[in-house]
Structure 1
Amino acid sequence: MSARDKPAGTLFGLGVGPGDPELLTLKAARILREAPVIAYPAPLEGDSMARRIAAPHIPEGREEIAIRMPMVPARFPAQAVYDEAAETIGAHLTAGRDVAVLCEGDPFFYGSFMYLFARLAERFRTEVVPGVSALTATAAAAHAPLAARNDVLTVLPGPLEETALVECLARAEAVAIIKVGRHLAKVKRALAETGLAEHARYISHASMAEQRVLPLADLVEDTAPYFSMILAHRRGTVWSKTQ
């Protein structure tokens, strides 16, 4: 089906950034002002983080779709939840209504929007609007460049098995470990085993009011919030005037 033949509504995947509403892009803010329907992931109970970030940019009177799912460490995504959400969103698109789907950070950097994209993009016009990712927001919060010159930046999910983490970290120059959460103790051990712990930085809730930045060595807890990340570099300092 060509773009010309697809139904009139457009599906927008909007990256809303890491937490600070001012880090929303101008394009995402414009689409939020114009879209009649807004969808976003949410826990089974309580507020949606993505909705909270975008709130200052959402006019009154918009129809909203909360995609509620259990926030548990079981296999993700919950297929049935996204199947149902795609059906609901698809009905709006078929009727000619644009739908803006909010995604924390960037839609295609470990973003939840990818699961709706896979279900809807072949049938409907779709536009993905990049957002400031937690990766770059965390580096800004830490006042620490991610990498320099010919460094290879490695991004590792905290839920990896410990042996896999150690194997990847042993080869890493610059590394960012995401989704730390309840895996913090395991990540600490892997960093120590591979000689990266000494200069590692811990950052949680980057760009938010509760932002916390400190050397990993000073962190006494063995669990962390979901919105946390660890940055490390084999050289210790990514770049200085003498390097």
Structure 2
Amino acid sequence: MTMAETRVSGRVICVGLGPGDPELMSVRADRLIRGARHVAYFRKAGNGGQARRIVEGMIAPEATEHAMEYPVTTEIPFDDPEYGRLLAGFYEDWAGRLAAIAGTEEVVVLCEGDPFFYGSFMHLHARLQGRAPVEVVPGITGMSGCWTATGLPITWGDDVLTVLTGTLPEAELARRAAGTDALVVMKTGRNLPKLRRALETAGRLDAAWLVERGTMPGQTVRRLCEADCASAPYFSIVLVHGQGRRP
């Protein structure tokens, strides 16, 4: 352990927890969480939170936990101005709280996957600049855990990998799916029917996989064309593997 990691003052440290299996967390993230005096994590109101579940049994009994509860999740459409206003206020409030703690102590913020890859922490990171020292510990992304669960490489040779979000318009999803070799679609959820139609339009539906809760308890891996469901759990990713040049 370095002197920087044993110093207990003046830092906000966001640790990437990986795709869900605690054993896929980095050694450094594990060490920081176990030694933390303050641990903060996002969660939906009334829910324990996935990040908190991943680290169950790792947080010291004397540590202070800070549950950052979203003011809204799916109750309001994400493109509604009120949605943005509520979330902006939430992030600003917690940036101030974390900065106040970091004035005298370290606070570890938990983030599933990698914090800088669609992680909620990026909204705090932007607001903490100039207010407190910030450090980020990268983690294995959720998509990496999911494509490994299929047992197939996501890319070969010169394959181009495209990462999309299921919130994009159907026509845009179809256009981008048709113009790439390998594909990862995040934020599927209730967008699954739209995504299925887009992949069919692009001629990629038969090659698509749906991975739910990758590396977590209850993981399922199946062909998307065989998945008879109108939506997918929050932790779901759709994949299309590349078929590039092979030696």
Matched, 1:54 2:55: yes
Give the counterpart letter for 2:73 in structure 1: M
**Which residue of 1 is the match for residue 182 of structure 2?**
174
1:110 is aligned, of 118, 130, 134, to 118
Q: Which ranges in structure 1 are unaligned for 5 or more consecutive residues?
A: 1-6
Look up the match of 2:73.
Answer: 71
Residue 108 of structure 1 deviates from its aligned partner by 0.2
2:156: which partner in 1?
148
- The one-character-per-residue Cα deviations of 1:70-108 (angstroms, maximum 9, x if unpaired) are 2214246811111111111111111x1101010111100
In 1, the alpha carbon distance for the partners of 2:56 and 2:106 equals 18
Tell me, yes or no, if the aligned pair for 1:21 and 1:56 is still in contact at 8 Å. Answer: no
The residue aligned with 1:91 is: 100
Matched, 1:138 2:146: yes
1:56 deviates by 2.8
Contact preservation (8 Å) 1:16, 1:104: yes
The percentage of counterpart residues that share the same residue type is 37
Pick the aligned partner of 1:162 from 170, 175, 182: 170
**Counterpart amino acid of 1:91?**
A
The one of 188, 208, 214 aligned to 2:216: 208
Whether the 8 Å contact between 2:41 and 2:66 is mirrored in structure 1 is: yes
Out of 93, 108, 113, the position equivalent to 1:100 is 108
Contact 1:184 / 1:223 at 8 angstroms: preserved in 2? yes
Preserved CA contact (<8 Å) 2:208 2:224 = yes
The 8 Å contact of residues 196 and 233 in structure 1, kept in 2 or not, is answered as no
Q: Provide the alpha-carbon RMSD of the alignment.
A: 1.7
2:238 corresponding residue in structure 1: 230
Task: Please state how far the C-alpha of 1:165 moved relative to its aligned partner.
Answer: 0.7
Give the total of aligned pairs: 232
Other structure's SS at 2:57 match = helix
How far off its partner does 1:239 sit?
A: 7.0
The corresponding residue for 1:10 is 11
User: Which amino acid letter does the alignment assign opposite residue 155 of structure 2?
Assistant: A
The answer as to whether partners of 1:11 and 1:101 remain within 8 angstroms in 2 is yes
Structure 1: how far apart are the matches of 2:239 and 2:158? 17
Q: Is the 8 A contact 2:155 2:242 kept in 1?
A: no
Give, in whole Å, the separation in 1 of the partners of 2:245 and 2:63.
Answer: 47
CA distance in 1, matches of 2:190, 2:245: 31
1:142-186 deviation line (CA, Å, top 9, x unaligned): 112111221110000001011111111121111001111000000
Normalised by the length of structure 2, the TM-score is 0.89
Q: Return the alpha-carbon distance in structure 2 between the equivalents of residues 168 and 105 of structure 1.
A: 24
* SS at 1:78 equivalent: helix
Q: Which runs of 5+ in 2 are unaligned?
A: 1-7
Q: Secondary structure at the match of 2:232?
A: coil
Distance 2:51 2:73 in 1: 14
Does the 8 A contact of 1:14 with 1:102 survive in 2? Answer: yes
- Measure the CA separation in 1 of the matches of 2:22 and 2:9: 30
